[in-house]
A and B are shown apart, each in its own frame.
Chain A
Amino acid sequence: MNNTGQKYIARKEIIDSVSSDILRPVRQNRSFILWMGFLGIALIACLYAYTIQLREGLIVTGLRDFVSWGMYIANFVFFVATSLIGMLISAVLGLIGYSWIKPIARIAEIIAVAFAAVAGLVIISDMGRPDRFPYLFMYGRIHSPILWDVTVVTTYLVLSLLLYLLPLLPDLAIAKSRLKNVPGWLIKVYEILSFKWVHSNEQYKILFRSIRILLILIIPTAFAIHTVTSWLFAVTHRSGWNSTIFGPYFLTGAFVSGTAAVIIAMFFYRNNFKLKSYITADHFDKMAKLLVLVSVVYFYFNINEFLVPGYKLEKFDAIHLEALFSGHHALLFWSTQLLGLVIPMILLLFRKMRKPLPAAIISVFVIAGAWMKRYIIVIPTQEHPFLPIQHVPGEWFVYKPTLTETAITLASVILVLMIITILSKTFPVVSIWEVAEEKEKVVAKESSNQGYDNNGEKSINN
């Protein structure tokens, strides 16, 4: 940490140049309004589907007694998974001391906040009696992994929000004096949310301490949120879910989808927000390497998850694995595993593939694969319970999502996009003060290499 008496803020010139770049896209321009209008109309259409479900019951979904968890739950798991990236980038890499993450840490936090916030709504869309949601707090049974999930998702959302807000304080203070062409109410919002930030040393000291606490706190919370989500499945007796490695299996899978999501977001901001000099090709290279690393670990857990029961072939494990490997889920299973995990993992080993465009395209495959993977984890297991399914209508055997169900799922994706859009068009997506600080450090380093004494004004890596 810094010594007292040192200033934490970079030189004004540097801040000026950085902030003019980063604040440029922060405005409610036409394309923003058009895009939000499009999302809004799509959302209303999808919410209409939800009113049908409210009126008719879950009969409008493809769910029935034997496959009673479907797309909603798979989507929920995917959302929770993707939100974990906030923890990996900011906390794990940040605490280790990698400073290259500074320009992209906030992007990861935006994704974390958006996905975690909507995950809770996704779970409500799956409930038979959403009107009784308050019962979870009135009559909550602390034995139930669902209650643990509610607890940790809420906690994680609050932590992510704080981790988004706190590093934003100096930026808000910088932005409110520099932003032009924005409505007055927005300046007011900046004013309130900046908590009277004046870049004083005392404020920086408190800020660094608070962020550090949050960074440490969010690691176990993030582990808990996805481990508990995996326990929704692992605590049952069902073949395919009844696994002791489900916690780490889910956790590593989460890092895969989250890293891919951040790469896609980076690509978008880099091009559309014209932030090429902040989100550099080097960032893509590093993030793609990270994606390889987490994919390798996830691949390793996949081998464990399938090889061990496949070696023994116990009765119901055998039925389950057969459905995945050569049965009617085979196409989905193999394309997910190959196109969404193995091939991207191999491709990204090549430097050329880690350039922005190829990395972003590969990431799209990875994230689509990650969604399908959740589907494969949730649905096939339920199709073969221990006792035979008999005397029920034929269409109850096999789960097929309906249009209504898909629309409601789509609504959650739209909501995520809306949150991301609003956050990134209202607040700077790259941390101005931290980037400026890094720049200043580079300048200072250069000058010290030239033999100058640079004791006076400078910032120091915290």
Chain B
Amino acid sequence: MSGLKSTAQEWEVSEDKQQRLAPFAFNDQSVTAGEELYNTNCISCHGNPGQGNYQQLDPIPGDPATEKIQSNSDGSIYYKIYEGKGLMPSFRNILAPDEIWEVVAYIRSFNDSYKQLVAEVQKLENVRWSEIKILLALNRENKELTATVKGLEEDKWTPVPNTGLIVAAERYFGQLQIDEEKLTDEKGMASFTYPENIKGDTLGHVKLQSMLTDQDLFGRVSTDTTFRIGMLNDAQPLNKERALWNSNKKAPLWLIISYISVVLAVWGFIFYVLFQLRKIYFAGKKETVN
């Protein structure tokens, strides 16, 4: 256990990720937005920046206003929020990239000596393609889903090569990723192997979302496609069977039969006796008249 914890202290971030910069300049607006996000997501462990009221955990979460955290590069902080490690949860599914940068903006607002370097903004319009689309196709024999990413380049659809892509199945509370993240080849294609035993709806349909991972570059590009690749959801309602815990309508037959027959039998005799009382009464009446 202690071994594990000591490795948690050293948190290596690769060179290129350290160098990453925010795509926008931090301002009051981004700091305010970041503060709100921080208070919902971070404050329960890290406490209020500058006040040192973080939780006493091992490893200690640390106060974001202190040197320990401020000495990280913007890219390092971004990456650590994005990936998470150990007790620090990953926020990749919770915060959008811009939102993570807003949290970074808020954290940096506690550092007076901080000077921001803003990334050279690469928006979609700076990219070759004015519009991007993803097409997902099914290859049943190989249990493969093939995605083709194409971009509109001056009235022509051309492949988008070498870009990250994920495919996820829609579940009730989130997206269940299928296979790993893949890079498109020079034809703009990437193949994903889907598990045979993935659960579908009552007809076996699975709604799949294919999405480009480089949101900084492309924004949010995704396509929903539904294929009949899942196992049928033929699960019965959990309260279907007759059982002792079920409602009266679903009571076990043996119980209904024994309860009703015993009650009827006993009360049948009781009413018989009450009827006998009546007979006693009339017998007495007859005698008195005589």
Binding site for B on A (CB under 8 A): 140-143, 148, 151, 155, 158-159, 162, 166, 169, 195-198, 200, 202-203, 206-207, 209-210, 213-214, 217, 221
Tell me if A217 and B269 are in contact (CB < 8 A): yes
The answer, among A155, A195, A210, for a CB contact under 8 Å with B284, is A195
Give chain B interface residues in 207-266, CB to chain A under 8 Å. Answer: 244-248, 251-252, 255-256, 259, 263, 266
Tell me if B283 and A213 are in contact (CB < 8 A): no
Tell me if A198 and B284 are in contact (CB < 8 A): yes
Tell me if B283 and A155 are in contact (CB < 8 A): no
Query: Which chain A residues border B259 with CB–CB below 8 Å?
Result: 142, 148, 151
- Name the residue on B nearest A156 (C-beta): B266
Known A151-B263, A213-B269; judge A207-B280 contact (CB<8 A).
yes
Query: Which chain B residues border A202 with CB–CB below 8 Å?
Result: 283
Tell me if B283 and A158 are in contact (CB < 8 A): no
- Name the residue on B nearest A144 (C-beta): B244
- Name the residue on B nearest A201 (C-beta): B283
Tell me if B280 and A196 are in contact (CB < 8 A): yes
B276 sits at the interface (CB 8 A): yes
**Bound Cα distance A202, B247 (Å):** 50
Tell me if B277 and A213 are in contact (CB < 8 A): no
Query: Which chain A residues border B280 with CB–CB below 8 Å?
Result: 169, 195-197, 203, 206-207
Q: In the complex, which of the residues A141, A143, A158, A214 has the most CB atoms of chain B within 10 Å of its own CB atom? A: A143
Tell me if A200 and B273 are in contact (CB < 8 A): no
Query: Which chain B residues border A207 with CB–CB below 8 Å?
Result: 276, 280
Tell me if A155 and B272 are in contact (CB < 8 A): no
Known contacts A200-B287, A203-B283, A217-B269, then 18 further A-B pairs from the complex at CB < 8 Å, ordered by chain A residue: A142-B248, A143-B246, A143-B255, A151-B259, A155-B266, A166-B273, A195-B277, A195-B284, A196-B281, A196-B285, A198-B288, A200-B283, A206-B276, A210-B273, A210-B277, A213-B273, A217-B266, A221-B266
B110 sits at the interface (CB 8 A): no
Give chain B interface residues in 67-96, CB to chain A under 8 Å. Answer: none
- Name the residue on B nearest A158 (C-beta): B270
Give chain B interface residues in 126-143, CB to chain A under 8 Å. Answer: none
Tell me if B288 and A210 are in contact (CB < 8 A): no
- Name the residue on B nearest A216 (C-beta): B269
B267 sits at the interface (CB 8 A): yes
Tell me if B270 and A141 are in contact (CB < 8 A): no
The DSSP consensus for interface residues of chain A is helix
Q: What 9 A-B pairs have minimum CB-CB distances, sorted nearest first?
A: A196-B284, A195-B281, A210-B276, A198-B287, A198-B284, A210-B273, A202-B283, A142-B259, A195-B280
Query: Which chain B residues border A195 with CB–CB below 8 Å?
Result: 277, 280-281, 284
Tell me the number of A-to-B contacts counted with CB atoms below 8 Å: 74
Query: Which chain B residues border A151 with CB–CB below 8 Å?
Result: 259, 263
Tell me the minimal C-beta distance from B280 to chain A in angstroms. 5
Query: Which chain B residues border A148 with CB–CB below 8 Å?
Result: 259
Query: Which chain B residues border A198 with CB–CB below 8 Å?
Result: 283-284, 287-288
B123 sits at the interface (CB 8 A): no
Tell me if B251 and A142 are in contact (CB < 8 A): yes
Binding site for A on B (CB under 8 A): 244-248, 251-252, 255-256, 259, 263, 266-267, 269-270, 272-274, 276-277, 279-285, 287-288
CB-defined A-B contacts under 8 Å, sample of 7: A143-B251, A151-B263, A195-B280, A197-B284, A206-B279, A206-B283, A217-B269
**Bound Cα distance A397, B231 (Å):** 50
- Name the residue on A nearest B250 (C-beta): A143
Tell me if A141 and B273 are in contact (CB < 8 A): no
- Name the residue on A nearest B259 (C-beta): A142
Tell me if B255 and A142 are in contact (CB < 8 A): yes
Query: Which chain A residues border B282 with CB–CB below 8 Å?
Result: 196
Query: Which chain A residues border B248 with CB–CB below 8 Å?
Result: 140-143
Tell me the minimal C-beta distance from B11 to chain A in angstroms. 35
**Bound Cα distance A233, B279 (Å):** 43
- Name the residue on B nearest A204 (C-beta): B280
**Bound Cα distance A143, B256 (Å):** 9
**Bound Cα distance A91, B128 (Å):** 101
- Name the residue on B nearest A196 (C-beta): B284
Query: Which chain A residues border B272 with CB–CB below 8 Å?
Result: 213
- Name the residue on B nearest A197 (C-beta): B284
- Name the residue on A nearest B285 (C-beta): A196
Tell me if B284 and A200 are in contact (CB < 8 A): yes
Tell me the minimal C-beta distance from B272 to chain A in angstroms. 7
Tell me the minimal C-beta distance from B271 to chain A in angstroms. 10
Tell me the minimal C-beta distance from B115 to chain A in angstroms. 49
Known A142-B255, A142-B259, A143-B245; judge A162-B284 contact (CB<8 A).
no
Tell me the minimal C-beta distance from B194 to chain A in angstroms. 41
**Bound Cα distance A302, B252 (Å):** 34
Query: Which chain B residues border A140 with CB–CB below 8 Å?
Result: 248
- Name the residue on B nearest A202 (C-beta): B283
The answer, among A155, A200, A214, for a CB contact under 8 Å with B267, is A155
Known A143-B244, A213-B272; judge A196-B288 contact (CB<8 A).
yes
Query: Which chain A residues border B244 with CB–CB below 8 Å?
Result: 143
Query: Which chain A residues border B267 with CB–CB below 8 Å?
Result: 155
**Bound Cα distance A141, B246 (Å):** 9
Tell me the minimal C-beta distance from A460 to chain B in angstroms. 20
Tell me if A142 and B256 are in contact (CB < 8 A): yes
Query: Which chain A residues border B246 with CB–CB below 8 Å?
Result: 143
Query: Which chain B residues border A143 with CB–CB below 8 Å?
Result: 244-246, 248, 251-252, 255
Query: Which chain A residues border B263 with CB–CB below 8 Å?
Result: 151, 155
Tell me the minimal C-beta distance from A437 to chain B in angstroms. 18
Tell me the minimal C-beta distance from B251 to chain A in angstroms. 6
Query: Which chain B residues border A162 with CB–CB below 8 Å?
Result: 270, 273-274
**Bound Cα distance A141, B244 (Å):** 10
Query: Which chain A residues border B256 with CB–CB below 8 Å?
Result: 142
**Bound Cα distance A334, B86 (Å):** 55
